[in-house]
Amino acid sequence: MHTHVTAARDLSGRTVAVTGAGRGIGRATATALARAGARVALGDVDADAALRAAGELGDGALGLPLDVTDEESFGDFLDAATELGPLYGLVNNAGVMQIGPFAKETAATARRMIDINAEGVARGMRLAAPGFLERGSGHLVNVASTAFVLGLSQAVHAELRGTGVELSCVLPGFVRTELTSGVKRPGYVREVEPEDIAEAIVGALHRPRLQVWVPRSLGPVTYVNSLLPRAVREGAARILGADRVFLDFDVAARAGYEERVSR
């Protein structure tokens, strides 16, 4: 019996756009894509950070301003990316994480997180998908920080079946970036690096699949946890301290990040 293995898709010379590419996971992803031979458009609301990151990658990289909450800005970013060649992939990575008790969250903070983490992803998909469908090829990669993104990815993946357009959802665990500064990681949770997520994203572009968990063990753990009775899940979370991770944090250590993403 022979097992059919799909050949890896070559990214050499293909253009991939990455949002939130000025730092963290986005910057690591742009670097990994360039290493794989792709041409990379790096977009970030911090245009200077995007330009610096692109400059370090050299030829075949383009740093551009991008506000994922603005339709025109996102459209201009994708149009500018085609200076490198026809757009093959879009990595929706931009995201913010402002934490603390729900009852103390302001309406402005809530709206900003939804606009960036949820609608920003949907906006990128809506803008890139028509061109991909017209050509019968392309790949959307969503870095899922919310249940919304996972649900949307699953629904759109079903719609795209048979069109030649791929969709992947990369689900990171606890990543060592500025976004998690001041947050105490539970001892049972393995911390991963931005480069680990970048490797998973490039891997998904090489060999498309819907869900990619990082670390890989997070997938089975999440599935088993979903099967447990609620009382058991909540009890385990209390014992392990998981229910307080985003409530008991170092305010001073997060001050710089919180100030930057609130602008």
Assess contact for 214 and 171: CB atoms under 8 A: yes
pLDDT tens over the chain, length 263 residues: 444 446 789 999 999 999 999 999 999 999 999 999 999 999 999 999 999 999 999 999 999 999 999 999 999 999 999 999 999 999 999 999 999 999 999 999 999 999 999 999 999 999 999 999 999 999 999 999 778 999 999 999 999 999 999 999 999 988 989 888 989 887 777 889 999 999 999 999 999 999 999 988 888 888 888 888 999 988 988 888 888 888 889 889 898 988 888 87
| Domain-embedded: residue 5 | no
- Residue 53's contacts (CB-CB under 8 Å, 6 or more residues apart) are 21, 22, 23, 27, 30, 42, 44, 61, 63
| Domain-embedded: residue 10 | no
* Structural domain of 112: 15-261
| Domain-embedded: residue 191 | yes
Answer whether 0.75 is exceeded by the pTM: yes
Structural domain total, the chain: 1
CATH number at residue 164: 3.40.50.720
3-state DSSP call for residue 239?
A: helix
Q: Which sign, positive or negative, has the C-alpha torsion 94, 127, 50, 110?
A: negative
